[in-house]
């Protein structure tokens, strides 16, 4: 039991230190390298798949008119919408509409568009995503390395009001972006951000495109690409904004779907990470440790509530933390999270005053972690591990359009 408690306490601290230290390495190396202003070697196309959200897809497409260099073409993929793009809709220059006859899911829509493209670089945006960066030359320049199969952009959440959206913004600002930066220094990613990512078309074709029977096509494609030897990277200078889920239940469903996708990916592709040439060994190991930690915390929690259920108390009173030890743990957690937050803020590159509201909601993060992230993982990961998903779009509620249909992404 002593070893169990040590693991429970040590793992979050070790993971935070790992992300923070390698995040600093990423930040320093990126600043030393600087941005690349040479003319890119590649033309690129953009795919925007959508289902029953034509207004969002149009907004995303129009956000690209100021980017430089301009895409060769933009493909709006209407995936069997009941209320699709109007015939008289004004499309941006160089944009065409591809209508599919039924709701086959995001991966199917992406594959349908991919088969019509000729450019070597393919950028994918969700229909709730707006391009913020106007200079895309740096991102395109990353593909000069022939081993790079995909570059994930930085997501900056659109937060309008409410603690639910603020907590998501805190998660993106202090955790998600930092993890991607740290992973990039290892030459791999747990997953690209499917809402804003650029792929090498030949790499996608080599793995057969996106898999259409998984809950999260971005996680699945990330692991298959890296298992085939392609490297993935993160570009913190290439930025887009994404609308956040406005309700706690909608957020829980979204994170459960992410966990389902992770479960399916671990089942299907973990063994392939061990073969020669695979690139994602570090994230596979860390993912496994995270899963073990979740299982151990559940076991520990069950032992603590056992007396209330009439079972013998399996934990010695000597192992129950004193109030002083608990206070020390909380202080150490606050210091470590503060260091992680500052490192992540430096990578985000925004003035510290931008994070003033986030600092106020930071004390709620443990409730967000245990109530949303942990519980959605406990229900989603086993479900994804044991079953096959059809990958179809699902209804979720957005603040701007409560009736819109999409894949909880």
What tens digit of pLDDT does each residue of 83-123 get?
A: 889 888 999 999 999 999 888 899 999 999 999 999 999 99
pLDDT of 405: 38
Measured N-to-C along each axis, helices 177-185 and 2-33 cross at an angle, to the nearest 10 degrees, of 80
- Is pLDDT above 70 for 322? no
pLDDT at 329: 75
Query: CA nearest 301: which of 2, 5, 101, 43?
Result: 5
Domain of 169 in residue numbering reads as 1-32+120-306+314-388
Cβ(165)–Cβ(368) below 8 Å = no
**Burial of 5 by CB count in 10 Å (0-12 exposed, 13-18 middle, 19+ buried)?**
middle
Confidence band, pLDDT 50/70/90 cuts, at residue 402: very low
Tokens 């259409």 appear where? 212
Residues in the chain: 409
Q: Does residue 407 form part of some domain?
A: no
Q: What pLDDT does 21 receive?
A: 94
What's the half-sphere exposure (Cβ side, CA atoms, 13 Å) at 179?
A: 17
Within-domain flag for 186: yes
pLDDT for position 352: 74
Q: Are 329 and 336 contacting, i.e. CB atoms less than 8 angstroms apart?
A: no
- 400 is a domain residue: no
State the pLDDT at residue 42: 84
pLDDT recorded at residue 31 = 73
- Out of 46-60, 183-197, 395-409, pick the least confident: 395-409
Is the CB of residue 182 less than 8 Å from the CB of residue 22? yes
Mean pLDDT, rounded, for 358-380: 90
User: Could you tell me which residue, 166 or 71, shows the higher pLDDT?
Assistant: 71
* CA–CA separation, 186 and 286 (whole Å): 12
Question: Is 1 contained in some domain?
Answer: yes
182 vs 162, residue with greater confidence: 182
CATH of the domain at 293: 3.90.550
- Is residue 66 situated within a structural domain? no
Q: Which residue, among 30, 92, 98, 37, has the nearest Cα to 59 in the 3D structure?
A: 92
Q: Would residue 104 count as lying in a domain?
A: no
Q: Specify the pLDDT at position 325.
A: 64
What's the domain count of the chain? 1
pLDDT in tens, 226-284: 999 999 999 999 999 998 888 999 999 999 999 999 999 999 999 998 888 888 899 99
Contact 130, 59 (CB under 8 A): yes
Q: Over pLDDT 90: what percentage of the chain?
A: 56
pLDDT band for position 30 (50/70/90)?
Answer: confident
Question: What is the predicted pLDDT for the residue at 409?
Answer: 39
Closest CA to 236 of 48, 409, 34, 43: 34
Residue 35 makes CB contacts below 8 A (sequence gap 6+) with 135, 137, 138, 237
pLDDT of residue 55: 93
Q: Where are the alpha helices (DSSP H) in 34-162?
A: 54-62, 106-114, 137-141
Task: Indicate the average pLDDT of the chain.
Answer: 86
Quick one: tokens of 382? 């086993």
In a 3-state reduction of DSSP, which class is residue 383?
A: helix
What spatial distance separates the first Cα and last Cα of the chain, rounded to whole Å? Answer: 39
Rounded CA separation 79/54 (Å): 11
Rounded Cα distance, 368 and 175, in Å = 13
Q: Has residue 394 been placed in a domain?
A: no
Q: Burial, 275: exposed, middle or buried (Cβ in 10 Å; 0-12, 13-18, 19+)? A: exposed
**Alpha carbon 288 to its chain's center:** 18
**Predicted confidence band at 34 (pLDDT cuts at 50, 70, 90)?**
low
Name the residue among 323, 341, 153, 289 with its Cα closest to residue 233.
Answer: 153
Q: Cα(179)–Cα(172) distance, rounded to whole angstroms?
A: 10
Under the banding of pLDDT at 50, 70 and 90, the label for residue 406 is very low
Q: Half-sphere exposure of 400 toward its Cβ, with a 13 Å CA cutoff? A: 14
252 versus 360: the higher-pLDDT residue is 252
Tell me the C-alpha distance between 142 and 70, whole Å: 17
Of the pLDDT bands very low, low, confident and very high (cuts 50, 70, 90), residue 366 is confident
Q: What is the pLDDT of residue 19?
A: 93
Where residue 60 falls among pLDDT bands split at 50, 70, 90?
A: very high
Does 72 fall in a domain? no
Q: Which two tokens stand for residue 267?
A: 């089942």
Q: Supply the Cα-derived Rg of the chain in whole angstroms.
A: 22
Mean pLDDT of 337-362: 83
Q: How confident is the model at residue 198 (pLDDT cuts 50, 70, 90)?
A: very high
- The region of weakest confidence among 286-295, 312-321, 380-389 is 312-321
The CA dihedral of 122, 126, 142, 116, to the nearest 10 degrees, is: 0
């Amino acid at each position: 039991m002593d070893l169990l408690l040590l693991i429970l306490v040590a793992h979050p601290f070790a993971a935070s230190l790992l992300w923070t230290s390698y995040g600093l390495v990423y930040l320093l190396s990126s600043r030393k390298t600087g941005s690349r202003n040479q003319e890119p070697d590649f033309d690129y196309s953009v795919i925007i798949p959508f289902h029953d959200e034509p207004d969002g897809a149009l907004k995303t497409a129009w956000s690209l008119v100021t980017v430089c260099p301009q895409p060769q073409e933009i493909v709006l993929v209407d995936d069997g919408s009941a209320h699709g793009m109007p015939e008289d809709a004004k499309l941006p220059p160089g944009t065409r509409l591809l209508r599919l006859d039924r709701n086959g899911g995001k991966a199917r829509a992406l594959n349908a568009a991919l088969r019509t493209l000729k450019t070597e670089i393919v950028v994918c945006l969700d229909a709730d995503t707006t391009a913020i960066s106007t200079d895309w030359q740096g991102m395109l320049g990353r593909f000069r390395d022939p081993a790079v199969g995909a570059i994930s952009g930085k997501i900056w959440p659109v937060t309008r009001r409410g603690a639910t959206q603020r907590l998501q913004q805190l998660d993106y600002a202090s955790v998600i972006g930092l993890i991607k930066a740290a992973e990039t220094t290892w030459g791999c990613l747990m997953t690209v951000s499917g809402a804003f990512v650029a792929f090498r078309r030949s790499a996608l074709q080599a793995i057969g495109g996106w898999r259409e029977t998984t809950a999260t096509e971005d996680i699945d494609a990330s692991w298959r690409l890296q298992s085939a030897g392609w490297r993935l990277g993160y570009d913190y200078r290439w930025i887009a904004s994404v609308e956040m889920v406005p309700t706690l239940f909608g957020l829980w469903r979204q994170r459960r779907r992410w966990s389902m996708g992770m479960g399916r990916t671990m089942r299907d592709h973990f063994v392939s990470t061990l073969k020669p040439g695979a690139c994602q060994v570090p994230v596979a190991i860390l993912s496994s440790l995270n899963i073990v930690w979740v299982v151990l915390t559940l076991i520990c929690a069950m032992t603590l509530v056992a007396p209330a259920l009439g079972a013998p108390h399996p934990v010695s009173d000597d192992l129950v933390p004193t109030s002083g030890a608990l206070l020390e743990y909380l202080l150490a957690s606050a210091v470590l999270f503060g260091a992680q937050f500052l490192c992540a803020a430096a990578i985000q590159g925004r003035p510290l005053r931008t994070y003033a509201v986030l600092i106020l909601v930071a004390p709620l993060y443990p409730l967000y972690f245990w109530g949303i992230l942990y519980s959605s993982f406990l229900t989603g990961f086993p479900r994804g591990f044991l079953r096959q998903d059809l990958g179809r779009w699902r209804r979720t509620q957005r603040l701007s359009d409560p009736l819109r249909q999409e894949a909880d992404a």
